[in-house]
């Protein structure tokens, strides 16, 4: 490989046309005056291994992985971080100089950094968290909440067995609450996180009754389209502190950008504006 090759990165998923990541990485490349490109790539699951084998030869330094390949990619990677193994999914790959593919999951990092920035007075150890949903995003959220010392996590999911599997995998601090009873445990919560797709543009609204929410409870939604979901609007009206989900998308990209392009970017108002354009 010649040394003056422009470093390439991108996102692999299907579909990927809607992805905000190209705008985000190009914004940071501009801010830092770096050469590089970030390309969305729509790839079928059957072709994933072949594509990942080829990209490093074309000057790619790494890629993000999104739906539906986040779990499958663990079968292809040579090295997997402990947190990606625990979560069972990766969102970031680094193509190492020795030819090995290194897989990591930075979703939990993005989730926590978004809360630290959006709710600077948040004290994770102050009380229980209620997590709605038990999919891949919920696994990343639960892993990171355990990491930062949340004492108890109550998981509620439409499909109960999925929540039970998650609780089994993550140990005693995680307990399962029936989906129809999720509203009943909100009054015990110091924080509430929606990891389901409910409230997303084109999806049904979140219907969990929120009237039990205490004033001051931290409520956050991983959905960022729309930015102000009904959950966040209603929580705000009840006097809760709310943080929208856009920051998680921005923060999860920070470690990847740094590894690929060599500079650690910041997430600020200009970053948000760049991807809301």
Residue ranges binding ligand ATR (CB under 6 A): 133-138, 157-159, 162, 195-198, 204
Measured from the CB atom, is 64 or 195 closer to ligand ATR? Answer: 195
Paired with 130 in beta bridges are 154, 192
Give the strand pairing for 101-104 and 241-243.
Answer: unpaired
Minimum CB separation from ligand ATR for residue 257, in Å? 22
Name the residue whose CB lies closest to ligand ATR: 135
> Which residues are known binding-site members?
19-21, 66, 82, 91, 107, 133-137, 157-162, 222, 224, 245, 252
Tell me which H or E stretch contains 247: helix 246-252
Whether 70 sits among the annotated catalytic residues: the reply is yes
DSSP letter string, 100-145? -EEEE--HHHHHHHHHHHH-TT--GGGS-EEEE--SHHHHHHHHHH
Tell me which DSSP letter residue 205 carries: P
- Residue tagged active-site, from 57, 70, 165, 175: 70
Angle at 217 between CA 215 and CA 223, to 5 degrees: 125
Nearest 10 degrees: CA dihedral of 244, 250, 252, 257?
A: 180
Minimum CB separation from ligand ATR for residue 7, in Å? 29
Minimum CB separation from ligand ATR for residue 209, in Å? 14
Tell me which H or E stretch contains 193: strand 191-194
Measured from the CB atom, is 107 or 190 closer to ligand ATR? Answer: 107
Measured from the CB atom, is 66 or 228 closer to ligand ATR? Answer: 66
Minimum CB separation from ligand ATR for residue 180, in Å? 11
What positions carry a catalytic annotation? 70
């Amino acid at each position: 490989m010649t040394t003056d090759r422009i470093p390439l990165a991108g996102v692999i998923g299907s579909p990927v046309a809607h992805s905000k990541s190209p705008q985000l990485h190009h914004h940071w490349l501009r801010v830092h005056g770096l050469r590089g490109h970030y390309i969305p790539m729509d790839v079928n699951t059957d072709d994933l291994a072949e594509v990942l084998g080829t990209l490093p030869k074309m000057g790619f330094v790494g890629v993000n992985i999104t739906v539906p390949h986040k779990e499958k990619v663990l079968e292809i990677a040579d090295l997997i971080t402990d947190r990606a193994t625990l979560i069972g999914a990766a969102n970031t790959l680094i193509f190492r100089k020795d030819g090995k593919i290194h897989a990591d999951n930075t979703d939990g990092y993005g989730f926590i950094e978004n809360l630290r920035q959006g709710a600077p007075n948040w004290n994770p150890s102050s009380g229980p968290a209620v997590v709605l949903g038990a999919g891949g995003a919920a696994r990343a959220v639960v892993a990171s909440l355990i990491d930062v010392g949340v004492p108890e996590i109550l998981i509620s999911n439409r499909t109960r067995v999925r929540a039970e599997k998650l609780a089994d995998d993550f140990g005693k601090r995680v307990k399962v609450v029936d989906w129809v009873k999720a509203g009943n445990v909100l009054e015990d919560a110091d924080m509430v996180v929606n990891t389901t797709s409910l409230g997303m543009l084109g999806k049904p609204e979140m219907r969990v009754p929120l009237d039990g929410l205490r004033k001051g409870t931290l409520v956050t939604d991983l959905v960022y389209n729309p930015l102000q979901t009904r959950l966040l609007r209603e929580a705000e009206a009840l006097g809760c502190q709310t943080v929208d989900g856009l920051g998680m998308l921005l923060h999860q990209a920070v470690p990847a950008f740094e590894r690929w392009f060599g500079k650690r970017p910041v997430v600020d108002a200009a970053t948000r504006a760049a991807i809301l354009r």
